[in-house]
Amino acid sequence: MQKVLTRIPIHVLSQDIAERIAAGEVIERPVSVVKELVENALDAGSHEIRVDIRGGGLRLVRVTDDGYGIPEDELERACARHTTSKITALEDLGRLHTLGFRGEALASIAAVSELTLVSRPIESENLVEESAAALITMRGGEVKQRGQRARLHGTTVTVRDLFYNVPARLKFMRGARTETGHILQLMRRYAVGFPAIRFNLTIEETVALQTGGTGDLAATLAELYQLPLAEMLHPVSATAEHYTLHGYVGNRALAQSSRQHIMLFINGRWVHNRPLQDALESGYRGLLPKGKHPLLVFYLELPPGDLDVNIHPAKTEVKLLHESEIVTALTQAVRSVLERSPALPSSPSFPGPELVYQRRLPGPRRRGLHVAESALLRSFSRRSSSPRRPMAACIS
Ligand SMILES: Nc1ncnc2c1ncn2[C@@H]1O[C@H](COP(=O)(O)OP(=O)(O)OP(=O)(O)O)[C@@H](O)[C@H]1O
Ligand SMILES: [Mg+2]
């Protein structure tokens, strides 16, 4: 290809273009919208969070919460860039107790979709005079409508026509089924990360995931996987100078063919950190057949100052001050539990040849523990009007 050498003078991009480019870093695909809205709902102290999806999230994402709400005079500001109620000074990053802090999620979503924010602050319910929730609709970053609606305290954010004004991004979107699969996986993570919150996900008006919010992680996992998991999960906890950790280590019968069931939360945030995930997996070294990965959930609590979450706009990548110490601790924690697990032979040949394990303890597929999502997701793309069992119940 021949390069065009005519140079255009350096100029400032229009705000509209700059906004859409910036939005691309935070909102990569529909699941990013769900992530940001659910995190806002969690930061607002919600007990119940409902998510509705249509068209893989490109047609509609709606997140409804019962959190503390947003006052009417702050609605528009909430949708502007660099506006937040979560930090005021740079030092606050070192004592962060919220999932959000960048003040750009709603602005990014509003720049590339039609976003309607309806909110009623919790305080308004104590007022003698009846007050309604306030509403604002933005399209492509511009205010299109304001109004009032009846609702109890909390917030509902509805996002329609995602990427309608970013054709380049739309072109790269996979089918609704793929996007829905990502959303389901994300919601499963939140349900595990926050067992005290009631989550409800509907896809094309069919319940796909539901949790009771009892606060009991083993019960939540059983709800999500619809299996008597309790006897296959071994609790773990440890405390040291720089961390405390607790969680559950799944025994080998729960091994899956993907890594998505290895869930690590640091200070309540699901994190994607390869060295830490590898550390957890290496606790199983020699115990799982090739290509199989464990099901395990770890919650790590660190002093907020020992964690840097401000390294990527999606806030799932983190840097740890004492990473190598924590890597060792994670592997040891898994290992120590597995060595005591009744699913392991007590013979000195531990861990023993793979085939012996296979015969004694059939693999997940034969035991009916394989998490089969594809058939379910196919059924969503067909869109049936008949009420269905919750998707989480369908594990082959
Ligand atoms: N569901 C909600 N309930 C209550 N307040 C909300 C909700 N969603 C957004 N807000 C308010 O709007 C502000 C802006 O939200 P936004 O997600 O854009 O930024 P943030 O959460 O502060 O930071 P980040 O960009 O990292 O998510 C929040 O700081 C919060 O005050
Ligand atoms: Mg946010």
Say whether pLDDT at 323 is over 90.
Answer: yes
Whether 353 and 322 map to the same domain: the answer is no
Q: How far apart are CA 329 and CA 195, in angstroms?
A: 24
Tell whether 46 is covered by a domain.
yes
Distance from Cα 9 to the centre of ligand 2, integer Å:
36
In angstroms, the CA 132 to CA 112 distance is 28
Please indicate, yes or no, if residue 223 is contained in any of the structural domains. Answer: no
Closest ligand (CA of 103): 1
Is residue 179, in this structure, part of any structural domain at all? yes
Of the given ranges (95-104, 207-216, 265-274, 363-372), which has the lowest mean pLDDT? Answer: 363-372
CATH number at residue 61: 3.30.565.10
Per DSSP, helices labelled H in 242-322 are: 274-282
Between 10 and 369, the higher pLDDT residue: 10
Predicted pLDDT of residue 288: 86
Is residue 108 within 8 A of residue 27, CB to CB? The reply is yes
pLDDT digits (tens, 9 = 90+) for 204-262: 999 999 999 999 888 888 888 876 676 778 889 999 998 999 999 988 878 888 888 89
Atom nearest to 26 CA in ligand 1: 25
Dist. CA 186 → ligand 2 center (Å): 16
Distance CA 139, CA 146 (A): 12
Same domain, 244 and 358: no
Residue 381 has pLDDT above 60, yes or no: no
Structural domain that includes position 378: 344-396
Q: Which of 19, 40, 42, 85 to mutate to test the pocket of ligand 1 (most atoms within 8 A of CB)?
A: 40
Q: Are residues 245 and 204 in the same domain?
A: no
Same domain, 42 and 105: yes
Per-residue pLDDT tens for 262-299? 999 999 999 998 999 999 999 988 888 888 898 899 99
Do residues 392 and 377 share a domain?
A: yes
Domain annotation covers residue 305:
yes
Tell me, in angstroms, the distance from the centre of ligand 1 to residue 347's CA. Answer: 55
173 within a domain of the structure (yes/no):
yes
Closest ligand to the CA of 25: 1
For 27, how many CA atoms within 13 A lie in the half-sphere containing its CB? 28
How many A from CA of 113 to the centre of ligand 2? 16
Q: Which residues face 135 on adjacent strands? A: 118, 147
Mean of the per-residue pLDDT values for the chain? 84
Asked whether residue 355 falls in the same domain as residue 320, the answer is no
Q: Residue 302 is part of a domain; what is its CATH number? A: 3.30.230.10
Give 55-74 as a DSSP string.
Answer: GGGTSEEEEEE-S----GGG
% pLDDT > 90, the chain: 57
Whether 130 and 171 map to the same domain: the answer is yes
Give yes or no: residues 161 and 66 share one domain. Answer: yes
Nearest alpha carbon, ligand 1 atom 11? 78
Q: 85: CA distance to ligand 2 center in Å?
A: 10
Residue 273 and residue 131 share a domain: no
Ligand lying nearest the CA atom of residue 96: 1
Query: Are 283 and 330 contacting, i.e. CB atoms less than 8 angstroms apart?
Result: yes
**How much is the pLDDT for 364?**
41
Number of structural domains found in the chain: 3
Residue 309, helix vs strand vs coil? coil
Distance CA 281, CA 78 (A): 40
85/91 Cα distance (integer angstroms) = 15
Residues 152 and 30 in one domain: yes
CA 338 to chain centre: 28
Residues 335 and 253 in one domain: yes
304 and 349 share a domain?
A: no
pLDDT for the residue numbered 343: 57
- Torsion angle of C-alpha atoms 120, 105, 175, 114, degrees rounded to 10: 50
- The residue among 210, 244, 268 that closes a domain is 210
Whether residue 32 is predicted with pLDDT greater than 90 in this model: the reply is yes
Query: Long-range contacts for 236-242 (Cβ within 8 Å, ≥24 apart)?
Result: 236/298, 236/333, 236/334, 236/336, 236/337, 238/329, 238/332, 238/333, 240/325, 240/329, 242/302, 242/303, 242/306, 242/321, 242/322, 242/325, 242/326
Asked which of 340, 369, 384 is the last residue of a domain, the reply is: 340
Amino acid sitting at position 8: I
Contact between 87 and 96 (Cβ < 8 Å): yes
395, 372 contact by CB (below 8 A) = yes
Q: Which residue has the CA at smallest separation from atom 12 of ligand 1?
A: 78
How large is the average pLDDT for residues 35-60?
98
Residues with CB under 6 A from ligand 1: 36, 40-41, 44, 65, 67-70, 78, 83-86, 100-107, 155
pLDDT of 374 strictly over 60: no
CA of 340 to the centre of ligand 1 (A): 44
Is residue 7 included in any domain, yes or no? no
Total-model pTM = 0.86
In tens, the pLDDT along 59-77 reads: 999 999 999 999 999 999 9
Residue 224 lies in a domain: no
165-175 average pLDDT score: 89
Question: Of 318, 340, 362, which residue constitutes the final position of a domain?
Answer: 340
Distance CA(19)–CA(17), nearest Å, equals 5
Q: Is residue 274 part of a domain?
A: yes
